[in-house]
Structure 1
Amino acid sequence: MKKNANDSLNDMPLEKKSKLNPLQGLYPAELDPNSSDHVVAMTQLRETIASLQKKVQQKDMELLSKDKLITELKAQHHNDTTDLRTEMKNKERLNENKFNLMNTKIQNLLKEVATLSKTARKNNKNTKSALANTENSGSGTDSPSTN
């Protein structure tokens, strides 16, 4: 006995049949062109497709708005980073200028201290020699002290 294609389909489980023919699971009987079941099913499928398309459009809009927000945040972050770097460089330059100015003042003050120290030493030597000269220079006519 020879099996035809319809017999092999009838022997298969329902799961395999529905995979081979997706409409098989929707209609328990053979498709009847006069039946309104297939029209109802088509209408339901169209409504489902339309609602899914609306959901996809909503998700696309959400993604676009989130993408815009991400772009704006990235731009703001970039601007803030650039501003902070500029501000930091300006402060660094200002501090370096102050540091150089202070070092120059320190060098000038050290020179002034050295100059004053030299003059103070010279003055001390001059006063010591003047004192030594006055002590050594006597007239020799000292009056006797009467105590």
Structure 2
Amino acid sequence: MKNTFLIGAFVLALFANTAMAQDLNKSQVPSVIVNNFQKSFPKAYDVEWELDGENYKVEFETGLLGADHDVWYNKTGALVRHKEEISKSDLPRKVLAKISADFGSYRVDDVKKITESGKVTYTLELKSISEDWKVAFDKEGTVLSKIAD
């Protein structure tokens, strides 16, 4: 019952976040934000801007394989959150060790590195024949959340 509630709350929060976002043209984004973005991510391509609540969100890709990024800037142009697609091999050793110890038979998928307020977390999907999990770890390999998927 508790897991069902948590999943429902997560889905509702995801939907509410999506419903609030408003697509923008680059010309509608304050120049301080565009300039900071271009300085931080000069090789970004396939760039899309949104107004997400009070923050400006930019979705883009980098690299030869097109790694996905989502970055949020506040109104003053400060980067407040960065979510980036990474490979399993880019996870910290302690996270990999925890996955191996506790989820050895699971396949790792959809790995993301999230940096917010100087704190880094890693989210990923762990899949087996019988169950799937969305799990968040800190850099030390501590499980921060585990939700049935």
Q: TM-score per shorter chain, which class?
A: under 0.3
Q: Which has the higher helix share?
A: 1
TM-score, normalisation: structure 1:
0.16
TM-score, normalisation: structure 2:
0.16
Q: Higher Cα Rg: structure 1 or 2?
A: 1
Q: Which has the higher strand share?
A: 2
